[in-house]
Homo-oligomer: A and B are copies of this chain.
Amino acid sequence: MEMETRSEKYAADISTIREAQARIESFIHRTPVLSSEFLNSIAGRTLLFKCECFQKGGAFKFRGACNAIFSLDDHQAAKGVVTHSSGNHAAALSLAAKLRGIPAYIVIPKNAPKCKVENVMRYGGQVIWSEATMESREDTANQVLQETGAVLVHPYNDRRIISGQGTVALELLEQNQKIDTIIVPISGGGLISGVALAAKSMNPAIRVLAAEPRGANDAAQSKAAGRIITLPETNTVADGLRAFLGDLTWPIVRDFVDDIITVDDKQIIEAMRLCYEILKVAVEPSGAIGLAAVLSDGFRKNPAWKDCNNIGIILSGGNVDLGVLWDSFSKN
């Protein structure tokens, strides 16, 4: 009964997430969970890293994209899909479309990181350039929509996407039954919405915490204000975490995310370095933010989280230009 109430109130629920899992599991990688005793000793807790950087396309985004693409009926699908995402969602949608044999039109701002553009091309997406502003991106996408009749697949404010991303939590909690806390990067809220709905449904005692860059802390401000706050500008090395919450993700974040931990870029880069040097996993800045959060004073010194002993951390993606990476390390 509770679930029925939820599915009216929220964009997804445990049953849409389980449906997504059944729909996509033959296409996705079941990503491994890694751990390091050295990182455990630094954190003073057991950390379990869910390596979505090893997902196809290099990020968790393939889960949602796959669920969206394979949810389309044949008539819709034939016309293809469009998105104006800047990166990982675009690559993921391209790859999922390729698997179904339909076109993916990807509107990309001219300032997007090179490796993310290469990923889109590698996976067969048709790149359509726009200016860097959100207005130009949306206008260009609308133009493509009108010309092709394709279906818009929003990177996060979409029930199919939220349900697909939630499969990360289903897998993680199957892989490790001791997890009492999950820390998830937050941007537009697609991943954390799916994770929170799945995890809280499987075990209401699990804490779901968001990690957010200080220079793009719209979600923390939104939680504090009780309504969606957007920012006039964002400034963070974590280029994947600059989006704002949408009307479908906000109610889930508001009601199911226990707290938002804010970290600065220096902490993100230090966490990224630990991922490379200790875990041996190549993450992008957005992907390392969960580790930055558990190592931050904001988490460690908060008595509310002192009983978080087995923490699942979602390493959300690994698409980074090595040159940009090195610049970050050198400057910090």
The chain A residues found within 8 Å of chain B, CB to CB, are 29, 32, 34-35, 37-38, 51, 53-54, 56, 58, 115, 122, 273, 275-283, 318, 322, 326, 329
Contact = CB atoms under 8 A, between A and B. Distances in A.
A122 B326 CA distance: 24
B122 A280 contact: no
- Smallest CB-CB A-B distances: 5 pairs: A280-B318, A32-B32, A280-B282, A53-B280, A326-B326
Contact of A322 (B35, B54, B56, B276): B276
A51 B280 CA distance: 10
B115 A322 contact: no
Given A273-B322, A322-B273, A326-B326, A38 B122 contact: yes
Contacts of A29: 34-35
A283 B279 CA distance: 11
Contact of A58 (B115, B280, B329): B280
A56 B37 contact: yes
A280 B322 contact: no
Contact of A54 (B115, B279, B329): B279
B37 A54 contact: no
Nearest to A327: B326
A133 B276 CA distance: 30
Contacts of A276: 282, 322
5 contacts: A54-B281, A276-B282, A280-B282, A280-B283, A326-B326
Contacts of A278: 58
A58 B277 CA distance: 9
A283 B280 CA distance: 7
